[in-house]
Amino acid sequence: MTDTPDPAPHITDSHCHLDFPDFDGRIGDVLARAADAGVTRMVTICTRLSNEPQVRAIAQAHAPVFYAAGTHPMSAASEPLATVEALCELAAHPKFVGLGETGLDYHYTADTAGIQQRSLRIHIEAARTTGLPLIIHSRDADEDMARILGEEHRAGAFDCVMHCFSSSPALARAALDLGFYLSMSGIAAFPKSQPLRDIFAAAPPERILVETDAPYLAPPPHRGKRNEPAFVAHTARVGAELFGMDYAAFAALTQANFDRLFAKAARWKGAA
């Protein structure tokens, strides 16, 4: 009798973009490779509300896929301003599990800082109203981001993950002090990212998620190629080393963290 290899530990890709053209006609194969790698769930993120129907359709068609929607800060000036009411209406879908990604990006679009901040506060209010977690993108905007998150949290609590975290230790501490989560992407696995790894290593392990941000930011050994959910396992192995854990234990930890933050996904029992 041939021994069957142990299955890969279960893990979740908490942030990817399966609606992007990179995955056209490939989602079935991508999900099969994810399953082989132990990736049993993923959250695909809609960055423009005008694309929400397409993103929703992907989640409806595939059991492992959940989704979130919001207006990306780099699109805040070119898209209609979201409303709390519209976001809450979208959130009624059983596989809609988070608000965003939203946030601030001053790297290329600092000239639209005002509208980005308005959009961010609208998404925060929707997160409060729905009880779903906020998914934050922050780039070159640490001071404004820490200030707004602090102001808004004092006005009324909400849950949040700092997606693809690659900002300063100060913003990490501000987010953690508010009870938020930090998400490791492939950037944390890049050879020159030791300062970022140090930030994660100093965080409470129960506040860590893992993600791909696919199709971007593939971790080694796939760096420079199209990223996909299966590759989250490579980033998670780096996380396991940071926390002195074996891979199976770290995978289980991030699963528990995801279930705590994305409780709606954890409760979902429906069929695709």
Note the pLDDT of residue 6: 64
Q: Which of 127, 109, 234 is nearest to 178 (CA)?
A: 127
pLDDT tens-digit map of 4-20 = 456 889 999 999 999 99
Distance CA 103, CA 118 (A): 10
Q: Are 238 and 219 in contact (CB under 8 A)?
A: yes
Note the pLDDT of residue 251: 98
Residue type, 130: T
Note the pLDDT of residue 7: 82
Q: Which of 71, 64, 46 is nearest to 56 (CA)?
A: 46
Distance CA 266, CA 272 (A): 15
Q: Give me the DSSP letters along 173-219.
A: HHHHHTT-EEEE-GGGGSTT-HHHHHHHHTS-GGGEEE---BTS-PP
Place of tokens 């490779």: 33
Distance CA 144, CA 156 (A): 18
Domains of the chain: 11-266 (3.20.20.140)
Q: Are 91 and 126 in contact (CB under 8 A)?
A: yes
Indicate the pTM of the whole model: 0.95
pLDDT tens-digit map of 112-168 = 999 999 999 999 999 999 999 999 999 999 999 999 999 999 999 999 999 999 999
Pair of tokens at residue 5: 């290899």
Which SS3 state, helix, strand or coil, does residue 245 take?
coil
Note the pLDDT of residue 178: 98
Note the pLDDT of residue 214: 98
Distance CA 196, CA 108 (A): 22
Return all residues near 59 (Cβ < 8 A) that are at least 6 apart. Answer: 44, 65, 66, 67, 95, 96
* Residue segments in the chain with a per-residue pLDDT below the cut of 50: 1-2, 4, 271-272
Residue type, 237: R
